[in-house]
Amino acid sequence: MTKLDAKIPAGPLAEKWRNHKNSLRLVNPANRKKLDIIVVGTGLAGAGAASALGELGYNVKVFCYQDTPRRAHSVAAQGGINAAKNYMNDGDSIYRLFYDMIKGGDYRAREANVYRAAEVGNDVIDHFTALGVPFARDYGGMLTNRSFGGVQVSRTFYARGQTGQQCLLGTYSSLSRQIGKKSVTMMSRREMLDLVIVDGKARGIIARNLVTGELERHSAHAVVLATGGYGTVYYLSTLAVNSNGSAAWIGYKNGAFFGNPSFIQIHPTSIPVLNDFQSKLTLMSESLRNDGRVWVPNEKGEKRHPNEIPEDERDYYLERRYPAFGNLVPRDVASRAAKERCDAGYGVGESGLSVYLDFKDAIKKQGEKVIEEKYGNLFEMYEKIGGTSPYKEPMRIYPAGHYTMGGLWVDYNLMTTIPGLFAIGEANFSDHGANRLGASSLMQCSGDGYFILPYTISDYLSDQIKVPSIKTELPEFEKAEKEVQDRINKLLSINGSQTPASFHKRLGKIMWDYCGMVRNEEGLKKGLQLIDELEEEFRRDVMVAGTADEFNQELEKAGRVADFFGVSRLMCIDALGRKESCGAHFREESQTETGEAKRDDDNYTYVAAWEYKGPGQAPQLHKEELNFEFVELKVRSYK
Amino acid sequence: MKIKLKIWRQKNAKAKGRFADYELANISSEMGFLEMIDALNTKLIGEKKEPVSFDHDCREGICGSCGLYINGRPHGPDARTTTCELRMRSFKDGETVVIEPWRAKSFPVIKDLVVDRTALDHIIAAGGYISVDTGAAQEANNIAVCKNASDKAFDAASCIGCGACVASCKNSSAMLFVSAKVYQLAMLPQGKIEARERVQKMTAEMDRQGFGSCSNTYACEAECPKGISVTTIARMNAEFLTAKIIAQKVG
Ligand SMILES: Cc1cc2nc3c(=O)[nH]c(=O)nc-3n(C[C@H](O)[C@H](O)[C@H](O)COP(=O)(O)OP(=O)(O)OC[C@H]3O[C@@H](n4cnc5c(N)ncnc54)[C@H](O)[C@@H]3O)c2cc1C
Ligand code: SF4
Ligand code: FES
């Protein structure tokens, strides 16, 4: 059994990163341009990394499947980005942000990584501001903050409800500058379909040119995956519809361990499922819970219009159950509380699967104009989809799949178990434990890309300077390309009767029912069986229209769905193995009398890192024990 | 509801395109426009025909991927709405809906309704940024920015790079797209330093990419899903003129 080495530097928490940076090896500027780096992904993580590496003088190639890097899914983030600047003078500090993330993650994240993420968060805000990201300001011209769930300070920087867009466009501008200088080569409309390993090291990728269908070989001294999360495993989720789990799956199949695959966040405030043909769920930012109050009627099956239900007939259940944090409890807690009310029959809307988010009191207190300034674009978005105005009546919301805390296992240097393969941003597992606190993903993605990876990858590359550019004629490339070609041909030759999307939808339903907000042993086993059956049906009856050598969106979808079967299975296996409840992973067998999650620190204070063992084989579990040196493990309470 | 569709079909960049007619019954008025095309594609695949290709990703109006020319208007009939946000309730039962790709010399068709918009990326790469390297930034609150200027910068910064402005313009000008970026960065103290150089580089690249010139018809403003205002164009022209005069003087 391999022993996982997280390579956490020794020393006091606040000095670990600084000391580590001082000990990392460097690459001489003259040698950097001889070193090739592939970055897959152009979200905050990938575009940030590619810019920073380009600035340093490395020879960088960056990939995305969209037509331009500016459309990576990071663009859709709404609410904000955290940093412990303490501009609000409310007692914030890097330690407090670190602590909130550790606690919010239900003590299942690595202390050293989390502290570092909080530490570089401040640099991220400085950098974005310098790049011209228009964060919200007060009348004195200074940056202002708001609060997010699970914390008692205001540390969230925001750009109306479009923070992700503004941060990504800032990052895209820095990337574009490097592209203009030719230090970075942009490869858009390319999908990575395999990783190439030479002598045990990651040395390149096979990508499909999505315009021509051609398979391309790209080589490098190191490969970085910044490919985002796989929340679309539920089919309906808050993610962009093309987001997928294939890159992580490819890494895993090539030997990178997969960390905590079942840790997936269900966001409490999404516009509910309105009809059967819906292709995605639209998020209503968590920031809304700053001013919105969540409630359901006191009576089951209440049919009155929400505005007609008097105050004393409303159950503000979050305020009732969690007086200390009220509407701002963390996401996992808020999601389960909504599900509990709806399952008990108090839900509203036609399906009974939604609750109210009400701004009546906030508008009364602060005036419509202030509320509009804070949430105008979200209200507009809601009205376009939901058909009613949140200024006039409460929104209806329900939980939806949103963010994957799980991802490729990485050490402190953000390197996976394959030498030379790095994973950054949402694609790795490292900083959010079993539940992510709002606004800390943008922070982590940008921190990883701009401020951490450039140091750690240089250390790895420092002993590669004598290695000439890797030749794509090597048999390893030949073999990987052929395998991809075979996979594509196979999908096209099935010629069945059902579309890839219809399989995705059915798989999503299985995952939502059996590996979603609550899980139990029986359900997970059932889920595994259903996944097997559905995959068998897919291999027999999927219909992939078109051919391999052209622009073919059906083929793209089919490949992603095929990989999702594997990801789904791994999620269920992981969820089965973890018999405790922690964060977003709620095992019904492990709860307190009042229905709160019950952790089992004696047996499960570890990261589950799964190793691929071949098709049809059970994966092997490796445990990275989490040692809490600086924080005492406590029962997470928001009451 | 029932919908008749006339959709542009084109096998690839080199092939000649043509309109094809389709009919869809049982369309709900609550369906999104793209979900309606999803439904058409499912039907086509069932009939062993080729589905219609179109770009899309976020499906909530923020990524700028989608962009269809619907009944003679970019992003269809509703103001300040991207194609993916458009609902079928904006169409009448039995209506014929004509769907085309963006038409502009600088946006060659890749397939069906998918066009190549990388020309816009080239314009940004030519100068649509503030030149600051990672690690070189000062403490964020050392730069005070007047709230009013910051809000205006924000309004311009909300461009999603969809290209509807180009598609709506009879000259296929990218002026609104370019001016939005120029304006955003010129409003901020951080961006002022390079403002003049930026406008020249970006305009030169816009010309090189084959976009037409702006003749102030302002069709772009009416069709922009994000409400980018043509005042950004005025500001950019002013910036451009000063840059030119200064260049002549320094000469
Ligand atoms: C609706 C929504 C709102 C959110 N709001 C917030 C918020 O307010 N604050 C916050 O902190 N977080 C928020 N999040 C989470 C946050 O947005 C994401 O976690 C983060 O943006 C992920 O960034 P990333 O760089 O890791 O990946 P992404 O931005 O997802 O980018 C992935 C990139 O990888 C590329 N890619 C993937 N696979 C391949 C492949 N096989 N080949 C080639 N390219 C590939 C894609 O093209 C893309 O460029 C939100 C998430 C959602 C869904
Ligand atoms: S200016 Fe408006 S229409 Fe033009 S690309 Fe930007 S968002 Fe689209
Ligand atoms: S699909 Fe993203 S804006 Fe329409």
Q: List domains and CATH numbers for chain A.
A: 13-266+403-461 (3.50.50.60), 270-401 (3.90.700.10), 475-606 (1.20.58.100)
Q: Is A25 a catalytic residue?
A: no
Q: Which tens digits make up the pLDDT trace of B120-133?
A: 999 999 999 999 99
Q: How far is the CA of A566 from the centre of ligand 2 (A)?
A: 39
Domain ranges of chain B: 3-111, 118-250
CA distance B126 to chain A (A): 6
- In angstroms, rounded to a whole number, what is the distance separating the alpha carbons of residues B84 and B164? 13
Predicted TM-score (pTM) of this structure: 0.97
Q: What is the C-alpha separation between B39 and B36, in angstroms, rounded?
A: 5
Q: What's residue A82's pLDDT?
A: 97
Find the helix packing angle between A163-180 and B118-127, rounded to 10°: 80
Q: In the prediction, which pLDDT does A162 show?
A: 93
Mean pLDDT by 10 residues, chain A (639 residues): 86 97 97 98 98 98 98 96 97 97 96 98 98 96 89 93 96 98 98 98 98 98 98 97 98 98 96 90 91 96 95 97 93 94 94 95 96 88 90 96 98 98 97 95 98 98 97 98 98 97 98 97 98 98 97 98 98 98 97 93 98 96 97 89
Superfamily of domain B118-250: Alpha-helical ferredoxin (1.10.1060.10)
Backbone angles phi, psi at A141, to 5 degrees: 90, 5
pLDDT, tens digit (0-9, with 9 covering 90-100), for A542-570: 999 999 999 999 999 999 999 999 999 99
**pLDDT score recorded for residue B249:** 67
Which tens digit of pLDDT belongs to each residue from A211-255?
999 999 999 999 999 999 999 999 999 999 999 999 999 999 999
Q: Average of pLDDT values for B240-245? A: 84
Beta-strand ranges (E) seen in A377-536 are 395-404, 407-408, 421-423
Contact yes or no for A565/A615 (Cβ under 8 A):
no
Q: Does B231 touch chain A (CB under 8 A)?
A: no
Asked if B129 and A174 come within 8 Å (Cβ–Cβ), the reply is yes
Per-residue pLDDT, A322: 95
Say which ligand is closest to the CA of B63. 3
Question: For the stretch A314-343, what's the b/e string if a residue is b when 16 or more beta carbons lie within 10 angstroms of its beta carbon?
Answer: bbbbbeebbeebbbbbbbbbbbbbbbebbe
**B214 pLDDT band (50/70/90 cuts)?**
very high
Contact B38 A162 (CB under 8 A): no
Are A554 and B51 a contacting pair at CB < 8 A? yes
Answer whether A134 sits within 8 Å of B116, measured CB to CB.
no
User: In this complex, which of B41, B48, B130 lies closest to A131 when CB atoms are compared?
Assistant: B130
Nearest to A173 among B38, B59, B129 (CB): B129
At B215, is the secondary structure helix, strand, or coil? coil
- Three-state SS string over A247-289 comes to HHHHHHHCCCCEECCCCEEEEEEECCCCCCCCCCCCECCHHHH
In angstroms, the separation between the Cα of residue B142 and the nearest Cα of chain A is 9
Across the interface, of A52, A132, A282, the residue whose CB is closest to B191 is A132
Q: Does any ligand 1 atom lie closer than 6 A to the CB of residue A62?
A: no
Q: Distance, in angstroms, between B119 CA and closest chain A CA? A: 10
Residue B251 has pLDDT above 70, yes or no: no
Run of H or E including A157: strand A156-157
pLDDT in tens, B11-57: 999 999 999 999 999 999 989 999 999 999 999 999 999 999 999 99
Q: What is the pLDDT of residue B250?
A: 59
Q: Select from B60, B57, B64, B30 the least CA-distant residue to A381.
A: B60
Pocket flag, ligand 3, residue B63 (CB < 6 Å)? yes
List the catalytic residue out of A190, A314, A331, A336.
Answer: A331
Q: Which of A135, A164, A168 is nearest to A68 (CA)?
A: A168
Task: Among A58, A60, A70, pick the best mutation site for testing chain B contact (most B Cβ within 10 A).
Answer: A70
Whether the CB of B192 is below 8 Å from some CB of chain A: the reply is no
Mutate to test the interface with B, among A42, A65, A74, A129 (most CBs of B within 10 A): A129
CA of B228 to the centre of ligand 2 (A): 7
Q: Which of B228, B249, B248 is nearest to B176 (CA)?
A: B228
Cα separation of A394 and A275, whole Å?
20
Cβ of residue B119 lying under 6 Å from some atom of ligand 2: no
Token duo for residue B176: 């609104």
Instruction: Looking at the structure, give the CATH architecture of the domain made up of residues B3-111.
Output: Roll (3.10)
Contacts of B184 in chain A (CB under 8 A): 132, 134
Q: What ligand is nearest to the CA atom of residue A68?
A: 1
Which residues of chain B lie closer than 8 angstroms to A75, CB-CB?
Answer: 58, 62-64
What is the spatial distance between Cα A451 and Cα A442, in angstroms, rounded to a whole number? 13
Ligand nearest to the CA of A67: 1
CA distance A541 to A192: 25
Half-sphere exposure of A99 (CA within 13 A, CB side): 13
- Residue A127: the pLDDT is 98
pLDDT at residue number B108? 98
| CA triple A381-A387-A388, angle to 5 deg | 90
Query: DSSP letters along A54-105, please?
Result: HHHT-EEEEE-SSSSGGGSGGGG--S-EE----TT-SS--HHHHHHHHHHHT
CA of B224 to the centre of ligand 2 (A): 5
Contact A323, A639 (CB under 8 A): yes
Contacts of A502 in chain B (CB under 8 A): 42
Answer whether B57 sits within 8 Å of A66, measured CB to CB: yes
Q: What is the dihedral of CA A389, A390, A393, A397, to 10 degrees?
A: 110
Confidence at residue A2, expressed as pLDDT on a 0 to 100 scale: 59
